[in-house]
């Protein structure tokens, strides 16, 4: 796998587990700016076309000079000095669209947070299919105290994940919460001791994913995400479309033919990854 274009994200690829790990480590505090957006665009291009990836993990081992761990401390506001309103709005629009693209990648994305996840950092958690936080993780949305609102999908998308009341609490007050509280409200799904323990969990998840049909995983994710907030009749149609694709793609036939071997722990030769039409 050629990861040259995503080098700013410090990727490592575990081919055996089909696991691509991003390790944010840039700037003063992993602030996300134009260079990182370019790398995330390249990441999406890579993952969308390269079927060797089944699991994506975003994390960081970055620490401050005082030893404080940092996930993503926010957007790179410094680079915006001298920008006019039109350029700022276009930049934030790009962020919003890009994080939506990351959210919809046809692989299972685990966000492993250790340390400060403020503003953009908390919003990046929303791109994950599963969130894991270390005991030293903290989350917060300080934007309303700066005269703005979270602009990278931290309003309605956050409310969809944690509920309206919790989203309003975080976004309106700017209160910072720790890992246990983030897990309680559903912002993340697990709490672990440290990054190493989190990566062990990610590897276990990747091992499970590696046995499954890439098409089935991608189609299931698409159906679940697309079904949010739509009437039941439309949700059923999305489910049917995903199931029908697996039948027509031959994945269901492979599963039937190899059923006993699969139960015994074998992994069949699945077909190339396919997705339902949008």
Q: List Cβ<8 Å contacts ≥24 apart for 1-8.
A: 1/46, 1/50, 1/52, 1/53, 2/46, 3/46, 5/39, 5/42, 5/45, 5/46, 6/39, 6/42, 6/43, 6/46, 7/39, 8/35, 8/36, 8/38, 8/39
Q: What was the pLDDT predicted at 11?
A: 97
Q: What is the pLDDT of residues 85-114, one digit of tens each?
A: 999 999 999 999 999 999 999 999 999 999
State the Cα–Cα distance between residues 109 and 154, nearest whole angstrom. 18
Q: Which residue has the tokens 């015994």?
A: 264
Q: How far is CA 60 from CA 95, 202, 211, 260, in A?
A: 20, 14, 27, 41
pTM: 0.96
> 269, 211, 262, 219: which is closest to 244 by C-alpha?
219
State the Cα–Cα distance between residues 26 and 10, nearest whole angstrom. 9
Q: Which residue has the tokens 């250790």?
A: 114
> 122, 111, 116: which is closest to 137 by C-alpha?
116
Q: What was the pLDDT predicted at 256?
A: 96
Phi, psi of 61 (to 5 degrees): -110, 15
Q: How far is CA 246 from CA 226, 272, 278, in A?
A: 17, 11, 15
Return the CATH number of 4-209, one of 3.90.180.10, 3.30.70.260, 2.160.10.10, 3.90.226.10.
3.90.226.10
Domain locations in the chain as residue ranges: 4-209, 214-263
End-to-end Cα separation, the chain, in angstroms: 27
Q: What was the pLDDT predicted at 276?
A: 78
Q: What is the CA radius of gyration of the chain?
A: 19
Q: What was the pLDDT predicted at 52?
A: 93
Helix or strand or coil: residue 28?
coil
The ranges of the chain with pLDDT < 50 are none
Q: What was the pLDDT predicted at 173?
A: 98
Q: What was the pLDDT predicted at 128?
A: 98
């Amino acid at each position: 796998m050629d990861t040259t274009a995503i080098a700013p994200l410090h990727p490592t690829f575990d081919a055996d587990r089909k696991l691509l790990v991003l390790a944010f480590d840039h700037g003063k505090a992993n602030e996300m700016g134009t260079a990182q957006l370019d790398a995330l665009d390249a990441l999406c291009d890579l993952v969308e076309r390269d079927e060797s990836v089944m699991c994506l993990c975003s994390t960081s081992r970055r620490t401050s000079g005082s030893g404080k761990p940092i996930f993503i401390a926010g957007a790179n506001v410094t680079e915006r000095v001298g920008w006019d309103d039109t350029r700022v709005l276009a930049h934030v629009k790009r962020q919003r669209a890009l994080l939506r693209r990351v959210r919809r990648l046809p692989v299972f994305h685990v966000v492993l947070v250790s340390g400060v996840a403020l503003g953009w950092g908390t919003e990046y958690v929303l791109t994950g299919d599963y969130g894991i936080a270390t005991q030293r993780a903290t989350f917060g949305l300080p934007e309303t105290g700066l005269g703005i609102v979270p602009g990278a999908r931290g309003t309605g998308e956050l409310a969809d994940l944690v509920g309206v009341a919790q989203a309003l609490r975080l976004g309106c007050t700017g209160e910072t919460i720790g890992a246990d509280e983030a897990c309680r409200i559903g912002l993340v799904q697990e709490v672990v001791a440290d990054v190493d323990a989190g990566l062990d969990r990610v590897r276990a998840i990747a091992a499970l994913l590696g046995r499954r049909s890439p098409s089935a995983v991608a189609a299931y994710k698409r159906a679940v995400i697309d079904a949010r907030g739509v009437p039941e009749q439309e949700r059923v149609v999305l489910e049917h479309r995903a199931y029908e694709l697996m039948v027509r793609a031959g994945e269901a036939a492979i599963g039937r033919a190899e059923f006993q071997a699969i139960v015994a722990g074998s992994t069949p030769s699945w077909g190339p990854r396919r997705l339902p039409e949008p």
